[in-house]
Amino acid sequence: MNYEIRFHPKWEEYLCKIKDREIEKRIFKLILRHERGDVSCRHIRFGKDYFVEEIGQYRLTFFKNGQSKVFCFVGKHKEYER
């Protein structure tokens, strides 16, 4: 199953804070895997429609909207907890 990938308007603001280009590559590889639909992930909390992926100490959050996935946040785990 293929998903349409979309990004929240603040996505670029979060992405610009990442200085490690290797982590950035890993993030985009994971997003491409999400596009193909071959990734299992966990909910942020029980009952919430948001999902989280872990990439080292970074977190990537998104939600599903029909046949699309909207990526909302990427940042270190301390920022994600807020």
pLDDT at site 29: 94
Q: 4-80: which CATH number, 3.40.50.1010, 3.50.50.60, 1.10.150.120, 3.30.2310.20?
A: 3.30.2310.20
Which residues are registered as beta bridge partners of 79? Answer: none
Residue 8: pLDDT band (50, 70, 90) is: very high
Tokens for 13? 């603001």
Q: Where are the domains of the chain?
A: 4-80
Q: What is the pTM for the complete model shown?
A: 0.84
What is residue 17's predicted lDDT score, i.e. its pLDDT? 92
Query: What are the pLDDT digits (tens) for 22-81?
Result: 999 999 999 999 998 877 788 888 777 889 999 989 999 999 988 999 999 999 887 765
**Cβ contact 58:73 at 8 Å:** no
Q: Is residue 36 within 8 Å of residue 2, measured between CB atoms?
A: yes
